[in-house]
Chains A and B, each alone.
Chain A
């Protein structure tokens, strides 16, 4: 209450000037003006700020080019200002890196004789403390093999058993959101934009449920789906099924945006590149195809394995530059997505086909046979001709075969492995990104922030036809066109620069371009363009 009173008389009305007698003025000399002003300033200051355009700018940094070769003064000033702005923001970015306070986990060995892979989960959980050890969990569930999926902020986990057991829950607090027994085959699950909706690939269709497990939609065009992916910035749910169709459904408008016929039969492997929203599919004949909604054919097609492709994952720590694949032949290959000339590295695993997943910091989890192996970054991406296994970082045996999914938890050092007896999550120190950005994904967000993010996400929704292999093509200069009208590489004037008479020339009758071309063909002249 006191603070309210204080606020109420912070701004006082301007007092009328009273004519004071001379002696009165002598007795009470006028107070300094600042004292009355300060109260107003202090009361106003928290509610106002000078608009950015009126704030004083700092002097231009030294390393900025002065553009002295440009004569136009206005243009020069504008360019200099832009360059100064760019260099300032670059400096600010460097400063901001100092503010990242999160400490990544690690396994540090002291001498060469020690091996990190010798450390068991038992040792890790005992040495990291009680709170962190909560990440090591075993969920024993019937109706098995299980697959799992984390929400974007890593707070919520969805799991689906092959026999129809679906559950979503906040794994940190242990609050269950929904638990369903669907009584039919379920093959995959994914959260949509946040944990309030999730989609399940069931026996015949894809179904969308809300947080409480109420069925909202049956997507009847997604027939016999096997794998699901959600592209969060485009609000697209992609599914691929036994019929070999890749379908994109816009979850904000409900439209089935695109469907692509892969012509490669049933598909059981799918992954998305989080940096360009390209969908990677692995097929039965060992081919891997990369799809975007705006191309009716794969953007890239690549024969990766001799047998069916079983696992696929794209490295988020390098901006989607590396892809790991595994086949039923037991090999694991790492590919460079910039050029597809052979695998960067390949090795053979024991136990046949492997499930793969890269973590945010670039650890690769490979689940084969009866164990999960984790490899770390610099070695799995360095090119090696020999088919040698990369040095192992961590390994963990799981007796419940088959291992059907591996998922890293975002912003945690946790790896969740799905198998026939449920799920087991293990601790992989150093695999998670320690610093999250609240504007993108926040594990600690409250209800209001979640709603805000949903609205902002919808406003910033990117159109599906802007998905391309290179996400930075937007806003960059168009490449020069390859079509030219030049004869012998000479006189190639763009149409707009042609003299007006040339532009106006109408192609009729004798002068039609085709007629002219044919006439040239008939003529007995030696012209390289006519041959």
Chain B
């Protein structure tokens, strides 16, 4: 006898058992059941890339109030929302980022520009200015903004360029023509640190975040110097091709320091090995004026004379995210917020602007389903980034015309220079001049 059976679907297995229940789904992962899976995935990836650019609205808001250009920004340690900014008009403002509100305002804190700001422990703010004074302010929330008197004034001998507080001790360092260490309780500097042969003006000074007694400074004679306050002297310094405008220590990798250089590049150095930078970051088309690490240590932000803000991934030297607006002038200070989600910039037009660190990130509550969809889209973009169309969509950025033209001109000049170099090499004796790696060109001399 022949056994005969015919394929049958039981409706009970495929229909909801009660009205209102979700319809049961069934899966068959046989690739023959899913034709064009690659092509469809690519389409999805392309859509994801397009959606990312569609949703890329990085500008969150601006904090107004300064009359002149914003020179410095600093965030309060341990606080997600409090940020202080100092301006060329000598005013200092405290902002609450979450409410986008001004918390505190000190007008005429210094004569001339406020050149440095840092928070001490608690609600105390230290500021220094070109009027050769350091002032200590109490910025605790008060009802009346009556008294604008500093708690303490530390008079100095020459204009200050920068100030930074020690991680834990009540010490702070200032940069003028020398690096000075101050105690909050004493009115005169505790010690002076200079490199023996140095005649420079120190433009910025920063304490290392984990090796707390080490500090680094950059100066006008193109140097980066390391000091130790335990020994009370300068340890080492390197002289570079061009001067640096800002420095920042990595929050997660203690030996790594980031320098924003006048030659349009950013450099990370390993302080154990100062002869070459570990990485070169190239995209700005004018001098880089400021830089700051994300608290994760995986990203950093830089602002430049070319009126753009760039957000870099650590270890990825090209193709950073770029932010610009029509009205933003030269960016003199940048800051990553403490939750690594936002970026602050202070520029010559006197505004402090808040940007998202990821341009297309959605603010507000994201449900688990939405999160899964976002993660899926991110994976798709990552997987298909080598596809020419997907990559093009996710890489393309609109640049302001001056920046675009400057980049083009720079490219042309660099190309011409390297061609000239090639020609010269071709017409000299073989082996006489060897091409030099870009990283080796940066440091001129290392001194200790």
Q: Does B29 contact A (CB under 8 A)?
A: yes
Q: Are B368 and A429 in contact (CB under 8 A)?
A: no
Q: Does B54 contact A (CB under 8 A)?
A: no
Contact with B along A75-106 (1 / 0, CB 8 A): 00000000000000000010011011011111
Q: Are B2 and A114 in contact (CB under 8 A)?
A: yes
Q: Are A444 and B40 in contact (CB under 8 A)?
A: no
Number of B positions contacting A (CB below 8 A): 45
Q: Are B3 and A108 in contact (CB under 8 A)?
A: yes
Contact with A along B408-439 (1 / 0, CB 8 A): 00000001001100110010000000000000
Residues in B lying within 8 Å of A, measured CB to CB: 1-9, 11, 14-15, 23, 25-36, 38-44, 47, 368, 371-372, 375, 384, 387, 415, 418-419, 422-423, 426
B353 to chain A: closest CB distance in Å?
29
Q: Are A49 and B38 in contact (CB under 8 A)?
A: no
List A contacts of B415 (CB < 8 A).
500
B31 to chain A: closest CB distance in Å?
8
List A contacts of B23 (CB < 8 A).
444-446, 449
List B contacts of A434 (CB < 8 A).
7
Q: Are A110 and B6 in contact (CB under 8 A)?
A: no
Top 4 nearest A-B pairs (CB, nearest first) are: A438-B25, A444-B14, A108-B3, A105-B7
Q: Are B39 and A500 in contact (CB under 8 A)?
A: no
CA separation between A49 and B41, bound complex, in Å? Answer: 25
B20 to chain A: closest CB distance in Å?
12
Q: Identify A501's interface contact among B35, B38, B426, CB under 8 A.
A: B426
List A contacts of B25 (CB < 8 A).
438-439, 442
Q: Are A501 and B6 in contact (CB under 8 A)?
A: no
List A contacts of B32 (CB < 8 A).
275, 316-317, 319
Q: Does A68 contact B (CB under 8 A)?
A: no
Q: Are A233 and B36 in contact (CB under 8 A)?
A: yes
Q: Are A437 and B372 in contact (CB under 8 A)?
A: no
List B contacts of A433 (CB < 8 A).
28, 33
List B contacts of A446 (CB < 8 A).
23
Q: Identify B26's interface contact among A277, A317, A437, A499, CB under 8 A.
A: A437
How many residue-residue contacts, CB under 8 A, span A and B?
Answer: 152
Nearest opposing residue in chain A for B378, CB measure: A53
Query: Of residues A131, A132, A474, which shows the largest number of chain B Cβ atoms within 10 Å of its Cβ?
Result: A474
Q: Are B387 and A475 in contact (CB under 8 A)?
A: yes
Q: Identify A108's interface contact among B2, B28, B422, CB under 8 A.
A: B2
Q: Are A51 and B40 in contact (CB under 8 A)?
A: no
Q: Identify A429's interface contact among B7, B34, B371, CB under 8 A.
A: B7
CA separation between A310 and B443, bound complex, in Å? Answer: 79
B51 to chain A: closest CB distance in Å?
10
Partner-contacting stretch, out of A185-193, A458-466, A508-516: A458-466
Give me 9 other A-B pairs in contact (C-beta within 8 A), A105-B6, A274-B35, A499-B422 excluded: A97-B29, A128-B4, A411-B9, A433-B28, A435-B30, A437-B28, A444-B9, A444-B11, A500-B419
CA separation between A107 and B1, bound complex, in Å? Answer: 11
Chain A, 348-375, CB within 8 A of any chain B CB: none
List B contacts of A439 (CB < 8 A).
25, 27
CA separation between A432 and B7, bound complex, in Å? Answer: 7
Residues in A lying within 8 Å of B, measured CB to CB: 47-49, 51-53, 93, 96-97, 99-100, 102-110, 114, 116, 119, 123-124, 127-128, 131-132, 135, 233, 274-277, 316-317, 319, 411-413, 427, 429-430, 432-440, 442-446, 449, 459-463, 466, 471-472, 474-475, 499-501, 504
Q: Given A233-B39, A438-B26, A475-B38, verify A429-B384 contact (CB < 8 Å).
A: no
List B contacts of A460 (CB < 8 A).
40, 43-44
List B contacts of A97 (CB < 8 A).
29
Q: Are B371 and A119 in contact (CB under 8 A)?
A: no
CA separation between A94 and B280, bound complex, in Å? Answer: 47
Nearest opposing residue in chain A for B371, CB measure: A51
Q: Are B28 and A110 in contact (CB under 8 A)?
A: no
Q: Given A500-B418, A500-B419, verify A105-B5 contact (CB < 8 Å).
A: yes
CA separation between A108 and B47, bound complex, in Å? Answer: 49
CA separation between A53 and B376, bound complex, in Å? Answer: 11
List B contacts of A411 (CB < 8 A).
7, 9
CA separation between A463 and B387, bound complex, in Å? Answer: 15
Q: Are B4 and A127 in contact (CB under 8 A)?
A: yes
List B contacts of A435 (CB < 8 A).
26, 28, 30
Q: Given A319-B32, A471-B36, A500-B418, verify A96-B8 contact (CB < 8 Å).
A: no
A114 to chain B: closest CB distance in Å?
6
Query: Of residues A107, A276, A437, which shows the largest number of chain B Cβ atoms within 10 Å of its Cβ?
Result: A437
Q: Are B34 and A462 in contact (CB under 8 A)?
A: no
List B contacts of A127 (CB < 8 A).
4
Q: Are B4 and A471 in contact (CB under 8 A)?
A: no
CA separation between A52 and B375, bound complex, in Å? Answer: 8
CA separation between A472 and B34, bound complex, in Å? Answer: 13
B166 to chain A: closest CB distance in Å?
34
List A contacts of B368 (CB < 8 A).
47-49, 51
Query: Of residues B9, B384, B422, which shows the largest number of chain A Cβ atoms within 10 Å of its Cβ?
Result: B9
Q: Identify B9's interface contact among A102, A108, A116, A440, CB under 8 A.
A: A102
Q: Are B418 and A471 in contact (CB under 8 A)?
A: no
List A contacts of B40 (CB < 8 A).
233, 460, 462
CA separation between A155 and B28, bound complex, in Å? Answer: 18
A284 to chain B: closest CB distance in Å?
31
Nearest opposing residue in chain A for B379, CB measure: A52
List B contacts of A276 (CB < 8 A).
35
CA separation between A357 and B40, bound complex, in Å? Answer: 27
B92 to chain A: closest CB distance in Å?
37
CA separation between A321 and B29, bound complex, in Å? Answer: 20
Q: Identify A109's interface contact among B2, B35, B42, B375, CB under 8 A.
A: B2
Q: Are B44 and A459 in contact (CB under 8 A)?
A: yes
List A contacts of B9 (CB < 8 A).
102, 411, 443-444
Query: Of residues B1, B25, B35, B36, which shows the largest number of chain A Cβ atoms within 10 Å of its Cβ?
Result: B36
List A contacts of B28 (CB < 8 A).
100, 433, 435-437
